A and B are shown apart, each in its own frame.
Chain A
Amino acid sequence: MISPIHIITIALGTAFALGFTGKLSQKISAFIMLAAVGMLTFISAQWVYAFYSGGQETIQIFTAGFKPPYSVNLQMGYQEAVISLMINFVGLLSGIYLFKTLVKQGKNAIAVYIILLMGLNVIVLTQDMFNLFVFLEVQSIATAGLIVLHKKKHAVSSGFKYMVATGIIAGLLLLGIIFAYYFTGSLNIQDFINANMTASKGGAIAVFLILGAILLELKPFPANGWALDVYQSAKPGLSAIISSASGTAVLFVLYKIAAIGSFDSYDLLANLGIITFVGSNLLGIKQKNAQRLLGYSSVGQIGLLVMIIGFGPVLGDKFQFIAFTIVVAHFLAKAGLFWLAGIVKKDNIKKWSALRKKPFLLVLFGTFVFTLIGFPPFPSFFGKWELIMVLAAKSNMIWVAAILLGSFFEGIYLFKWLGYVIKGEVSEKKTIKVPVHKIIPVAIVGILTYVVGFFSSTFVEGGDIINYLPLFFIAALFFVDFLPAFVKNIIAIAGMAYYGYTFLPELYEKDLLRFIFGTIFIGGGILTLIAGFYAKGKRQGFYPAALIMFAGLGGIIQAENMLQFFFAWELMTLGSYILIIRGKRSMPHGYSYMLFSVAGAYLMLIGFAMTNAQAGISLDALSMITSHANLIYLMLAIGFMTKTATVGLHIWLPGAHAEAESDVSPMVSAILLKAGVFGLIILFIAMGAESAGTNPILYILGWLGAITALVGNLAASFQEDAKKLLAYSSIGQLGYILFAFAIMTHLGWLTGITYSINHFLFKAVLFLAIGAVVLRVKTHKMYEMGGLIKRMPLAFIAVLIGIITLSGVPPLSGFAGKWLFYNAVILKGWYFQGAIVFFAGIIAFLYCFRLIYAVFLGQLKDEHRNVKEISIWFIIPIYILIIGIMIFSARPDLILQPIGDAIAGYFPSETLNWNDTTASTTLGYWSGYRVMIIIGIMFTILFAWLALFNRKSKKVKQFNIVYSGERPERPETTHVAHNMYAGYNKALGLLVAPFITQFWNYMSETVKGTAGFVRRVYTGNGQTYALHIIMYLVIIYLIVF
């Protein structure tokens, strides 16, 4: 066991030695430095290992052999070891990363670098206040030196500002220490803690000064302008250290000395922390400079951690876990991002699209962004989950809200950035150069995020049963991304099939409702993946994303507790987001999708947390809520409704679905939306049938569903873009489903399930077919198509069957939904809502006809005369689905009867009876089977009749139409498809005026405006910043005393 004291000796020794190695080349010095840092890392690592394997006691080291206060003592405990390891590790990686720069800058820089690391180590280890002060100074000066060595325009000035700021802070700290020494006669931190200084006023001021100085060192908002300048202008490798290593070290210091204050000071810390978190992230929204943006994010994250430290006593035994996961997440992600910034070398975040040429870096970038925001499977997800659970359990709901608000702000800019990276225009031809020594640290950090995430899940309550199998599979698939798409598709389908096999048969016995949705998710996934065979080339990144989404969906089905559910939910969001933004023009839509999803997920999170506080983590706990039940239900409902795109929360959907790739649209529309439905089902089950008549939420949801159906369908009728039309139609259909479930009767639920199944079937058919057509004709605009029935009869039949099902015309299964719906509505007594939904249902005819007419009928265009039938890979899944529709149409009883029995348990009385194939309620009856047969017979007879009279019909061409004695000139001018329902628009278009879009735009403008306004406090002037720092302390002082 190497004593931690050697961390200092090695570092110092190396630094001095470097001074004597004048004749050695710079490179060798750098290698020596790296070796030294490696040594440091090894030392801390072996300590960590020792603590991890148990048996190792925390040790105290006294430098001069005296007991404190007469000597400097270092403490090496588990925490110290870990933090020190982190610092040294990132120091090592950064050293590798900065290798060339350091070599260029010379020995002095190398020496300073190692001194900086040493300073940080000592800060962590030391138990002596003055020593702490000294090494803080050492660290500051070293940092400033390194900043100034960087020959960037603002480096010198920002280095100066940094010196000014840290100077003030140091002064304050020193003052505090002197006071404290006066009161306690010791410089040992432990003595400070024991001395209970806050009892006297002078002592309290000492504590205040010390804590305040350390806090200021952590760059709290808004007294942190100097720090942001540093982040912006320092070398990215250095920023990484400042953000990750220094930040972590000082945080640890804060943690160490927080105890010297009273309970009040914890509160204060928490408050200041959250202000920093929210404020800093708010400011980040308007930021365009990448490094400065990262700076805001760093400050924000550190603010969050300060808050967590402030909550230390409240969090109790969960504290370590929460703090650790969030620290690690921040640490790894921020280091990685700063390094990436150094690789990309672009200041403006819009220019980061250059990263796209390097898929590997792109993945790393995504990893870091998602880590920061707290998506699964990264450590911060679990940290935040636990944090919020604990806070909710202690009923600190305002804090929860503030944390989530801050996170949301952070999401706003990080996702915007991610969007720019993934979808921005790549203007320059030359690709960015990626030296190996720069990529290795980033890669290591990236991989570590996954590893840590995986291990942290095991510490969370309920997290140990998360099904990681699919994720491993996806990771494996990611590593074979170089294979052609065809091979990957086979692997993916096989994987999906196996995944389905592992849990679906079991569910069939256990829980039919879940089984149905599971089949929709997994089966639908397999079918839409079949369509993926059309893709040529490698299709990089598609399969991992798709499978992440399906893994999430599967996870939702399998979830037994709320953590699992939320984990899967976020996973699904993540996967679907990546899928959606793969489309050509889908960046803004993917962005709004993500923001709505994140906001919705946060509401869910609050709901879950409140539930957890009352009744435990199991999903069943939702039904056992005792207080604030309606609030919780409402929040969960809103969370789920962001996925079902209920009106008000729908604006992300049309663009996202329409601009996605041809085989992605059905995934996200036919399948993904059902996740929201499934969530609602779980919610409604929890609310229980007895709430049907009494709960206002259900009533509101019912109306919302009805209005959604109306608005969605109406808007769909006015679309020119085929896929947008389908997307709006999805909104409308989901409105029906929401409405049906909100009825909360046996019939209503059956209606909802029938609609869900139908919507899955026909929307998949429609989106696949239209998507395939779009692939052939290369346009979304319906009026640019036309007459395609002659070229693509199979696609036409598919769309025909799709729209018949959609519109609910007998004999196909759409009518089953309509019939059940009528009965359910009338028996429930929701007449007006029912009438609105019915009206919406008829409006569906408008867009159904428009879709099939404008695309397949009418006039074939010049350029489509030779267009081919849609790809066979689309036809196969489409026709499998159509067979499904046919079976469901002819024998709805086969599916509905068992479901009816299955959900009968939730409702007191079963109101639908099956007699052979005839369904009947107290109101009416209907037999899909018989209707089908009668219509079939009739159709045949009439066909024969007409055929008899019309044997010799002459087949004519498309312009052989009567045209008032004239003849058509061009197909374009003869095809009536543009603005088809002009009159209708005139009459009812008012209803679909984009009020809601305007509302959200207004909201986002307001947030941005606030951010822009507040940002003006950062003048860029060193004196102002110094003033800020003083003012900050003064104000806090005034508040505290």
Chain B
Amino acid sequence: MSATMRKIGARVAGRYGIPFYQPWINIIKLYSLRDSITHGVMFYLGPIFRVSGGVGIFLFMPLIFASQHFSNFSFAGDLVLIMYFQFFGMLGMALGAGEGGHPHSAIGISRGLSQFTTIEVPMTLAVISIAIQYNTLSISEIVAAQQGGILHWTLFTNPFATVAAMLSLLGAFGHSPFNLVKAPNEIPIGPPTEYHSSFLGVLRTNAAILHVIEAVLFMNLFFGGAGNWFELIVKSFFIYFWSVFVGIVFPRFRIEQSVQWFLKIPLLLGVIAIIIFM
């Protein structure tokens, strides 16, 4: 865990000028705040749901290939479990933020959900494509199938699926151009508008975990998985940077634009990916 946290720090340092330990301090600071208010039980439980979701996925995800310890609890379920378990946290968060009663929260969530529905479409197509390709849904087995050299990676054996999924990853990370959910200028911060202090601390911790997980998931699915910690860190780091780079270059989409965008090119790529393996 601690190693992962380090990575988050390093990764967030990608932004200009922040000390690499800054996110840590932020989190400590957030926990150290003295005041805190709550809008009700669900508001309180929202972040817990969120983190349960995040940590849960983490636990269900095999990190290191063929490692006894770092396969975590992946015996409990396969790729489908992970894809659906993301929603657990999102739902809890949405509910908690909803109870905050702030209109921006609701607007943010409604936008987030709208966008999310279409983000998942190319992702699904890609996953289906991979499942056809490797004839399995188990992540460990998918990783196992990619061993034996860089050309065995899904990236090369199934490029369309990879590209489709990588595009959907952009949306999943919520950087520009798909950051209307948080839209710092118009609906400040979106869903977590009312969250603060340790609630926000928990959420930030979780955001970090989620980014790692997404990256690790993609690494496992498309980039051959990781045989050791070093490989894990390097690969997921690069996957994360993909979205950061794109985010720097492109301006923000409106919600209906992003919805329609995901239903165009990424969808097409996903369809091609499936047709190839049909």
Contacts and interface: CB of A to CB of B under 8 A. Distances in A.
Q: Do chains A and B touch in the complex (CB under 8 A)?
A: yes
Interface of A: 787, 789-790, 793, 796, 800, 803-804, 807-811, 815, 818-819, 822-823, 825-826, 829, 831-832, 834-835, 838-839, 842-843, 845-846, 848-850, 852-853, 857-859, 918, 922-927, 930-931, 934-935, 938-939, 942-943, 945-946, 949-950, 952-956, 958-963, 974-977, 980-981, 983-984, 986-988
Contacts, number: 250
A925 B78 contact: yes
B87 A858 contact: no
A215 to B, nearest CB: 63
A950 B198 CA distance: 7
Contacts of A942: 48, 51-52, 55, 202
Given A807-B87, A961-B102, 14 more contacts: A789-B99, A790-B40, A826-B137, A842-B116, A845-B113, A846-B113, A849-B98, A858-B99, A918-B75, A934-B60, A942-B52, A942-B202, A943-B48, A983-B256
Contacts of A808: 84, 87
A960 B136 CA distance: 51
Given A846-B114, A930-B75, A976 B107 contact: yes
B101 A980 contact: no
Given A843-B117, A958-B101, A974-B103, A807 B91 contact: yes
A927 B77 CA distance: 6
Nearest to B267: A835
A598 B117 CA distance: 38
Contacts of A843: 117
Nearest to A921: B137
Nearest to B87: A809
Contacts of B128: 825-826, 831, 834-835
B130 to A, nearest CB: 10
Contacts of B87: 807-809, 845
Most chain A beta-carbon contacts within 10 A, residue among B38, B102, B113: B113
A954 B98 contact: no
Given A790-B40, A800-B95, A980 B77 contact: no
A954 B38 contact: yes
A815 B81 contact: yes
B189 to A, nearest CB: 10
A980 B52 contact: no
B125 A835 contact: yes
Contacts of B41: 789, 793
A987 B256 contact: yes
27 contacts: A803-B91, A807-B87, A819-B80, A826-B128, A826-B131, A831-B132, A832-B271, A835-B274, A846-B114, A846-B117, A852-B98, A857-B42, A858-B98, A923-B131, A926-B77, A934-B59, A934-B73, A945-B202, A946-B198, A949-B198, A953-B36, A953-B37, A956-B37, A974-B103, A976-B103, A980-B106, A983-B114
A548 B106 CA distance: 44
B52 A983 contact: no
Nearest to A860: B101
B88 A810 contact: yes
A844 to B, nearest CB: 9
A857 B93 CA distance: 12
Interface in B98-133: 98-103, 106-107, 109-111, 113-114, 116-118, 120-121, 124-125, 128, 131-132
Most central of A809, A843, A946, A987 by chain B CB within 10 Å: A987
Nearest to B79: A924
Nearest to B30: A949
Nearest to A800: B95
Contact of B116 (A790, A845, A853, A924): A845
Given A823-B137, A858-B101, A839 B80 contact: no
List of 10 A-B pairs having minimum Cβ-Cβ separation, nearest first: A924-B137, A857-B98, A983-B255, A924-B78, A987-B256, A976-B106, A987-B259, A949-B198, A984-B114, A953-B38
A946 B136 CA distance: 38
* Interface hub of B85, B99, B101, B102 (most chain A Cβ within 10 A): B101
A926 B83 CA distance: 13
A988 B259 contact: yes
A666 B219 CA distance: 45
A983 B259 contact: yes
A983 B276 CA distance: 34
A963 B103 CA distance: 9
B267 to A, nearest CB: 9
A859 B194 CA distance: 14
B41 to A, nearest CB: 8
A962 B81 CA distance: 37
Q: Is the interface of A mostly helix, strand, loop or mixed?
A: helix
B44 interface: yes
B197 interface: yes
A955 B77 contact: no
Given A858-B106, A924-B136, A809 B77 contact: no
B3 interface: no
A807 B86 CA distance: 12
A949 B131 CA distance: 43
Nearest to B127: A822
A987 B117 contact: no
A793 B254 CA distance: 36
Q: Pick from B75, B76, B254 the residue with the most CB of A within 10 Å.
A: B76
A731 B125 CA distance: 24
A859 B197 CA distance: 23
B94 to A, nearest CB: 5
Contacts of B35: 954
Contact of B201 (A849, A922, A949): A949
Given A809-B85, A924-B80, A983-B254, A845 B117 contact: yes
Contacts of B91: 803-804, 807, 809, 845, 848-849
Nearest to B47: A946
A563 B278 CA distance: 44
A810 B198 contact: no
A479 B257 CA distance: 63
Given A924-B79, A942-B52, A950-B197, A984 B116 contact: no
Interface string B192-223: 01100111011000000000000000000000
Interface in B44-93: 44-45, 47-49, 51-52, 55-56, 59-60, 73, 75-81, 84-85, 87-88, 90-91
Residue from A818, A953, A960 with most neighbouring chain B CB atoms (10 Å): A953
A809 B101 contact: no
A809 B256 CA distance: 26
A812 to B, nearest CB: 10
B78 A984 contact: no
B81 A926 contact: yes
Contact of B55 (A831, A938, A953): A938
B138 interface: yes
Contacts of B228: none
A25 B19 CA distance: 116
Contacts of B193: 961-962
Given A807-B87, A857-B101, A822 B137 contact: yes
Contact of B76 (A823, A857, A930): A930
A938 B202 CA distance: 14
Contacts of A787: 101
Nearest to B114: A984
| B37, B114, B259: most-surrounded residue (chain A CB, <10 A) | B114
Interface string B220-261: 000000000000000000000000000000000011110110
A981 B114 contact: yes
Contact of A853 (B40, B51, B109): B109
Contact of B77 (A810, A839, A981): A810
B95 A852 contact: yes
B259 A984 contact: yes
B39 interface: yes
A842 B120 contact: yes
Contact of A815 (B56, B59, B84, B278): B84
A717 to B, nearest CB: 9
| Residue among A793, A808, A838, A942 having the largest count of chain B Cβ atoms under 10 Å | A942
